[in-house]
């Protein structure tokens, strides 16, 4: 049996030790994320305390906008989502996160570089020195053996953050849709209030003119005429203020949608002062577990997982790191046109880095990563609690608005009949100007309250849409503009 030469025993021994170290430590890694901690953070009430609309039975939230009798609302939402800068920023963040995840994952594979150089020289300080031409080429490779899963966990953290950025894009779409819907309903309610104010202006202008005519012939006192003239001026003031509020809401929609104002106004004009409605407006079953449909909570959960992986990577950095490196080199030397002298070489071997003393730097970094994980987990728990509150508040507001609307309608109708009767009595000389003004104010307030209640009911639906995730489903596939399908 041949005997190994002494000079070969040391390299083989080193390689054997390195292989044994890899086999012994390759399985060492940070344990999986604490599922119990996540489940505890995700605790939601077994049932909602506020009453559910229509018993909680109906169609899915994905078809939300098609339930309304106003197709313009859905068109505005689609146009806004196609051009809104906030969503464009979210898409850019997704691309950045994906690139960072690819970069982190590449560290798991060998790094190979090809180098080449050629140099020709003649030293001028010494006479008779021949010209030399040196050409070299080398292929270098390095690979970190991920003993304690440091590289893998850095990759996992980057991938979790990339997933979080994609979920945040979904959340931004839901939030933007709700914001556009709220602004649109606010505009239509404002236009309705403007109509009410305009009708009040017309009526008070007519009554103030009659009062002036009655004053001239002695059938009206100066005090009563002054009261009605003041009421006419007040109605003009209300109308002008309401019209300005509507202009501001139009400009808000222009900012959200990015559409030219003249084009948007032309698009809005046909349905002036018409609040969207749906006789059968319903919401899907709303169990407490529906919070799992919220993309912002899913994104925050991915941030918790990323923080956990980063914590593991920081802990792994406290332990030895092993790298395998190798190189193959080719070179050729030619002197003054003479024959080329070739020189080839190679090298291969492990490199072990063992931290001994760093004044507590690595331990402090691991402690900071643990604290960031604790902070992220607490933030996730706070987000879940806030989500529960948002759903409960939306349900309470929706239930209250639905019950109030019929009373507000009855109030507005009754005050309107009273105002018409009082105006007739005043013209016949059977009622005073003060009674006429009081009837007018009560009617105006009741009509405004009805519009506000109707708008509040729609706003509560939109809030519930947003609070329950907007119909987003974890398994749903939607394409991000400029990217791949999620």
Using alpha carbons, select from 310, 10, 323 the residue that is nearest to residue 153. Answer: 310
Are 475 and 482 contacting, i.e. CB atoms less than 8 angstroms apart?
Answer: no
What is the distance, to the nearest Å, from the Cα of residue 316 to the centroid of all Cα atoms in its chain? 33
The whole-number pLDDT of residue 243 equals 94
CB pairs under 8 A, 24+ apart, for 356-362?
A: 362/314, 362/317, 362/318
The whole-number pLDDT of residue 453 equals 94
> How far is it, in rounded angstroms, from Cα 235 to Cα 205?
9
The whole-number pLDDT of residue 283 equals 52
pLDDT single digits (tens) 40-91: 556 655 555 444 443 333 334 455 667 777 888 888 888 888 877 877 787 7
Contacts of 450 (CB under 8 A, 6+ apart): 405, 408, 409, 411, 412
Q: Which region holds residue 149: left if phi is over 0, alpha if psi is between -120 and 50, else beta?
A: left
The whole-number pLDDT of residue 191 equals 94
Whole-model pTM over 0.85? no
pLDDT lower than 50: segments of the chain: 1-29, 49-61, 284, 476-477, 483-486
Going by their DSSP bridges, the two strands 132-145 and 340-353 should be labelled as unpaired
The DSSP result for 465-483, as a single string, is HHHTTTT--TT---BPTTS
The whole-number pLDDT of residue 116 equals 79
Using alpha carbons, select from 147, 141, 149, 151 the residue that is nearest to residue 107. Answer: 151
> How far is it, in rounded angstroms, from Cα 102 to Cα 353?
26
Q: How many residues does the chain have?
A: 486
Residue 444 parent element (H or E):
helix 433-467
The whole-number pLDDT of residue 194 equals 93
The DSSP result for 318-371, as a single string, is TS-EEEEEEEEEEEEEEETT--EEEEEEEEEEEEEE-----TTHHHHHHHHHHH
């Amino acid at each position: 049996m041949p005997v190994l030469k002494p000079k070969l025993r040391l390299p083989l021994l080193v390689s054997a030790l390195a292989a044994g170290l890899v086999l012994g430590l390759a399985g060492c890694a940070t344990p999986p994320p604490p599922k119990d901690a996540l489940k505890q953070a995700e605790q939601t009430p077994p049932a909602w305390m506020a009453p559910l609309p229509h018993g909680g039975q109906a169609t899915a939230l994905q078809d939300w906008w098609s339930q309304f009798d106003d197709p313009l609302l859905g068109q505005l939402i689609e146009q806004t989502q196609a051009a809104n800068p906030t969503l464009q920023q979210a898409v850019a963040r997704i691309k950045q996160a994906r690139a960072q995840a690819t970069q982190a994952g590449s560290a798991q594979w060998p790094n190979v570089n090809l180098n080449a150089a050629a140099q020709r020289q003649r030293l001028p300080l010494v006479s008779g020195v021949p010209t030399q031409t040196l050409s070299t080429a080398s292929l270098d490779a390095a690979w970190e053996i991920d003993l304690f899963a440091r590289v893998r966990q850095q990759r996992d953290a980057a991938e979790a953050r990339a997933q979080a950025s994609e979920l945040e894009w979904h959340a931004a779409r839901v939030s933007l849709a709700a914001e556009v819907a709220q602004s649109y309903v606010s505009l239509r309610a404002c236009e309705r209030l403007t109509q009410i104010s305009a009708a009040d202006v017309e009526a008070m202008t007519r009554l103030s003119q009659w009062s002036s005519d009655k004053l001239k012939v002695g059938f009206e006192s100066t005090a009563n005429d002054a009261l009605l003239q003041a009421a006419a001026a007040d109605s003009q003031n209300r109308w002008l203020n309401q019209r300005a509020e509507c202009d501001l809401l139009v400009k808000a929609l222009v900012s959200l949608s990015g559409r030219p104002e003249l084009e948007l106004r032309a698009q809005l004009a046909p349905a002036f002062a018409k609040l969207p409605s749906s006789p059968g407006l319903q919401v899907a079953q709303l169990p407490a577990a529906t919070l799992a449909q919220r993309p912002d909570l899913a994104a925050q959960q991915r941030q918790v997982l990323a923080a956990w992986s980063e914590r593991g990577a920081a802990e792994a950095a406290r332990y030895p790191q092993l790298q395998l490196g190798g190189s193959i080199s080719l070179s050729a030397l030619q002197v003054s046109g003479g024959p080329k002298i070739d020189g080839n070489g190679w090298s291969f071997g492990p490199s072990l880095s063992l931290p001994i003393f760093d004044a507590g730097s690595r331990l402090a970094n691991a402690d900071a990563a643990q604290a960031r994980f604790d902070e992220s987990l607490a933030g996730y728990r706070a987000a879940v609690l806030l989500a529960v509150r948002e759903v409960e508040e939306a349900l309470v507001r929706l239930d209250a608005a639905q019950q109030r609307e019929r009373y507000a309608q009855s109030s507005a109708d009754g005050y309107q009949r009273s105002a018409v009767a009082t105006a007739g009595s005043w013209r016949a000389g059977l009622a005073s100007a003060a009674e006429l003004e009081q009837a007018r104010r009560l009617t105006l307030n009741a009509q405004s309250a009805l519009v506000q209640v109707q708008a509040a009911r729609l706003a509560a639906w939109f809030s519930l849409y947003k609070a329950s995730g907007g119909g987003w489903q974890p398994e749903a596939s939607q394409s991000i503009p400029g990217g791949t399908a999620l």
